[in-house]
């Protein structure tokens, strides 16, 4: 099966003043893939996610998103790609504090097209938060806030879901709830890219890309497709020495 | 909430000060009438009682403080030659609020007031009687009058002693108008009564106008200073509000909001804020102006509806401008900058 690429980074560099946060990075992500990005702090993971997530433009190199070269696209174009095709999940959740869980989800609908309360409730139900829909973020636990953030990210059926350290602020129980949600989404065909420090989270992805000092160190394909993860897969995903 | 308060305070100051600014001249020209008549009515052939009645009807009731004729006659009082002044004594005390009377105003025929200097010379007091030459009867001095001017050598009799119709030498008119309004009124009067020459009492009128102008300039100055301070306060508060929501703005942009929709959101909230702040400010400003007017002039102010509308309008416009400047730069923030880790 020849799946098309949702994102291609070709020799992408991002340079801040003199510091190269990314250096000649080449990464391809296929549609329907579940990719984990790992690497030490400061290795350029967030920088790469910003490029893929159309939040930033590379200093050099080419970015192809969904078949479109967006390396030099206008901010307006990038905004519309984010709105139409990308769901963002943040380590700090970034919920609007004075809006309820439901309203936070509907916010994404509002900027996308039309608000639809039933749809938004369904999204919350999907992350197991239907009964907490009228709560404010401060009345929710970290895990619950992250699930609201996920519901907001998937409400508009994005082609690509990007999560930068989604479990960084969560305990193990919530971490596994979140990863299970990703698994479900991926099984339904969503492309997911997760930045993580957590080996267990990375092991559940199909493939791991490792960054160090702004360069890709390994980009290793698991042999299987989404779905069942055997213990062997987990072994394969582990770092090579 | 803080922003609403700032806007409301701004509108309060504007509405309150503007009300005071408009009201001060009106109130003061009333207060100024304590300094006496501001118009003298002269006529070559004398002022008939009928003419004066017409003049009285011509003056707007709200502005009429007092109108009284004067007729001067020389008579013998206990064989002294004195000037007797006939005037409408009830009106005269309104026109000349500074008159001091020891005793009482004449209450029936045959009673009179005696000027304080004359009383001294003749060694008389209230309650004394004397023989007045021409009338050939005894009169009772019900009171001693101190006018504070040359009039203290006169004897004052009420004009009613002369019957219903008379021809006055001169008349004093006190109206609560000043500046251009007074000048306009005088012109109207000349037009309406060609036989009468109304003369402004220059000494009184000029100093009043000067005081008024200075006072208005002062109020204007204070208003401008306070208003610019409030404007700075409003825009700082708006900037703080926007900064507080910078993260939210970044998030909205990250999930695909156009800068324009963010601008519009803030535009509407600034509009609503300005509107309600303006309305609250009108009430508070009215209360403030009323308080000032009550404590200074002991009169409540009228509600200027046009001014209220203007205040709301100005507060809306200013809030939108003050709010949109920081919002404009905030709408251009780079979402990755504001959404980066704690
Ligand atoms: N806006 C910026 N200006 C200057 N330097 C930046 C900027 N953003 C990132 N950097 C630098 O680029 C490098 C890569 O940053 P990045 O945030 O991508 O790292 P990361 O892998 O996400 O790290 P972490 O695991 O700590 O989140 C870092 O050295 C960082 O200091
Ligand atoms: Mg990072």
Do B48 and B196 have their domain in common? yes
Tell me which residue of B163, B335, B265 sits closest to A54, measured CA to CA: B335
Do B332 and B230 have their domain in common? yes
Is A14:A2 a contact under the CB 8 Å cutoff? no
Contact across the interface for B256 and A84, Cβ inside 8 Å: yes
Supply the residue whose CA is at minimum distance from atom 16 of ligand 1: A44
| pLDDT beyond 60 at B60 | yes
Q: A68-82, A102-116, B169-183: which has the minimum mean pLDDT?
A: B169-183
pTM of the model: 0.69
What is the phi/psi pair of residue B167, to 5°?
-125, 110
What per-residue confidence (pLDDT) applies to A231?
39
Do B234 and B153 have their domain in common? no
Do B65 and B195 have their domain in common? yes
Q: B151, B175, B200: which is the final residue of a domain?
A: B200
What per-residue confidence (pLDDT) applies to B136?
65
Contact across the interface for A82 and B341, Cβ inside 8 Å: no
The DSSP secondary-structure symbol of A4 reads P
The answer, yes or no, to whether any atom of ligand 1 lies below 6 A from the CB of A14, is no
Contact across the interface for B339 and A94, Cβ inside 8 Å: yes
Do B229 and B257 have their domain in common? yes
Chain B nearest-CA residue for A85: B256
Residue B89: alpha-carbon gap to chain centroid? 26
Contact across the interface for A76 and B258, Cβ inside 8 Å: yes
**pLDDT one-digit tens code per residue, B212-235:** 888 888 888 888 887 788 778 778
For residue A177, report the distance from its CA to the centre of ligand 2, in Å: 22
pLDDT band for B339, please (50, 70, 90 cuts): confident
- Record the tokens describing residue B38, joined without a space: 């501001």
What per-residue confidence (pLDDT) applies to A151?
96
Percent of chain A topping pLDDT 70: 90
| pLDDT beyond 90 at B144 | yes
Query: Which atom of ligand 1 has the smallest separation from the CA of B337?
Result: 1
Q: B148, B179, B200: which is the final residue of a domain?
A: B200
Contacts of B267 (CB under 8 A, 6+ apart): B320, B323, B324, B327
pLDDT band for B134, please (50, 70, 90 cuts): low
The DSSP secondary-structure symbol of A99 reads S
Do B81 and B194 have their domain in common? yes
Domains along the sequence of chain A with CATH: 5-95+142-234 (3.40.50.300)
Where is A7: in which H helix or E strand? strand A5-16
Residues of chain A neighbouring B342 (CB-CB closer than 8 A): 92
**pLDDT one-digit tens code per residue, B231-276:** 787 788 888 888 888 999 999 999 999 999 999 988 998 899 889 9
Do B174 and B222 have their domain in common? no
Do B111 and B196 have their domain in common? yes
| pLDDT beyond 80 at A232 | no
Tell me which residue of A159, A9, A182 sits closest to A86, measured CA to CA: A159
> Does B54 contact A at CB distance below 8 Å?
no
Helix (H, G, I), strand (E, B) or coil at A68: strand
The ligand that comes nearest to the alpha carbon of residue B338 is 1
Q: Between A106 and B134, name the one with better pLDDT.
A: A106
> Does B206 contact A at CB distance below 8 Å?
no
- Nearest-Å Rg of the Cα atoms of chain B is 32
What per-residue confidence (pLDDT) applies to A239?
42
- Record the tokens describing residue A180, joined without a space: 């299970």
Q: Which of A57, A78, A88, A114 to mutate to test the interface with B (most CBs of B within 10 A)?
A: A88
Taken as a whole, chain B contains a residue count of: 342
Taken as a whole, chain A contains a residue count of: 241
Do B221 and B191 have their domain in common? no
Do B54 and B175 have their domain in common? yes
The ligand that comes nearest to the alpha carbon of residue A25 is 1
Q: Which domain holds residue B71?
A: 37-200
- Record the tokens describing residue B107, joined without a space: 């209450």
What per-residue confidence (pLDDT) applies to B341?
60
Do B278 and B217 have their domain in common? yes
Burial class (CB in 10 A: 0-12, 13-18, 19+), A75: middle
Do B180 and B42 have their domain in common? yes
Percent of chain A topping pLDDT 90: 85
Is B147:B99 a contact under the CB 8 Å cutoff? yes
Q: B178, B200, B222: which is the final residue of a domain?
A: B200
Contact across the interface for B255 and A50, Cβ inside 8 Å: no
Into how many domains does chain B fold? Answer: 2
For residue A203, report the distance from its CA to the centre of ligand 1, in Å: 24
Instruction: Identify each DSSP E strand in chain B by its residue range.
Output: 39-42, 47-48, 64-77, 80-87, 100-103, 111-115, 129-132, 137-146, 155-158, 167-168, 170-175, 197-200
């Amino acid at each position: 099966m020849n799946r098309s690429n949702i994102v291609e980074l070709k020799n992408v560099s991002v340079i801040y003043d003199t510091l190269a946060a990314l250096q000649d990075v080449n990464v391809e992500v296929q549609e329907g893939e579940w990719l984990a990005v790992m690497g030490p702090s400061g290795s350029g993971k967030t920088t790469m996610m910003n490029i893929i997530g159309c939040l930033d433009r590379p200093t050099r190199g080419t970015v192809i998103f969904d078949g479109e070269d967006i390396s030099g696209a206008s901010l307006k174009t990038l905004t519309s790609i984010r709105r139409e095709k990308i769901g963002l999940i943040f380590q700090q959740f970034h919920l609007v504090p004075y809006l309820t869980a439901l309203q936070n989800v509907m916010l994404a609908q509002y900027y996308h097209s039309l608000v639809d309360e039933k749809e938004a409730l369904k999204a919350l139900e999907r992350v197991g938060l239907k009964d907490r829909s009228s709560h404010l973020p401060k009345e929710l636990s970290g895990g619950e806030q992250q699930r609201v953030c996920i519901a907001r990210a998937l409400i508009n059926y994005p082609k690509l879901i990007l999560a930068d350290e989604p479990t960084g602020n969560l305990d193990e129980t919530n971490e596994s709830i979140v990863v299970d949600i990703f698994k479900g989404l991926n099984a339904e065909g969503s492309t997911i890219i997760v930045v993580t420090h957590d080996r267990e989270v990375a092991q559940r992805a199909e493939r791991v890309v490792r960054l160090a000092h702004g360069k890709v160190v390994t980009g290793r394909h698991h042999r299987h497709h989404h779905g069942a993860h055997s213990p062997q897969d987990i072994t394969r995903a582990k770092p090579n020495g | 909430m803080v922003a609403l308060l700032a806007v409301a305070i701004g509108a309060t100051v504007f509405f309150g000060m503007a009300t005071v600014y408009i009201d001060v001249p009106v109130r003061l020209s009333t207060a100024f009438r304590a300094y006496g008549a501001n118009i003298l009515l002269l006529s070559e052939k004398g002022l008939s009682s009928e003419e004066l009645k017409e003049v009285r009807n011509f003056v707007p009731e709200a502005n009429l403080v007092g109108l009284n004729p004067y007729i001067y006659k020389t008579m013998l009082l206990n064989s002294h030659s004195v000037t007797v002044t006939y005037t409408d004594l009830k009106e005269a005390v309104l026109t000349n609020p500074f008159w001091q009377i020891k005793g009482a105003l004449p209450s029936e025929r045959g009673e009179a007031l005696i000027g304080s200097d004359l009383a001294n010379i003749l060694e008389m007091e209230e309650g004394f009687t004397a023989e007045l030459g021409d009338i050939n009867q005894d009169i009772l001095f019900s009171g001693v009058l101190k006018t504070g001017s040359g009039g203290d050598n006169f004897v004052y009799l009420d004009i009613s002693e002369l019957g219903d119709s008379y021809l006055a030498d001169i008349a004093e008119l006190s109206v609560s108008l000043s500046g251009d309004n007074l000048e306009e009124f005088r012109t109207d009067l000349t037009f309406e009564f060609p036989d009468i020459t109304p003369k402004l009492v220059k000494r009184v009128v000029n100093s009043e106008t000067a005081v008024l102008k200075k006072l208005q300039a002062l109020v204007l100055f204070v208003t401008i200073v306070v208003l610019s301070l409030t404007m700075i306060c409003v825009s700082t508060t708006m900037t703080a509000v926007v900064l507080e929501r910078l993260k939210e703005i970044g998030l909205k942009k990250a999930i695909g909001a156009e800068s324009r929709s963010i601008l519009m959101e803030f535009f509407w909230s600034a509009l609503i804020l300005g509107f309600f702040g303006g309305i609250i400010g009108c009430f508070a400003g009215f209360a403030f102006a009323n308080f000032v007017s009550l404590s200074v002039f002991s009169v409540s102010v009228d509600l200027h509806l046009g001014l209220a509308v203007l205040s709301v309008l100005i507060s809306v416009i200013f809030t939108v401008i003050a709010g949109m400047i920081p919002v404009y730069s905030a709408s251009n923030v780079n979402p990755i900058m504001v959404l980066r880790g704690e």
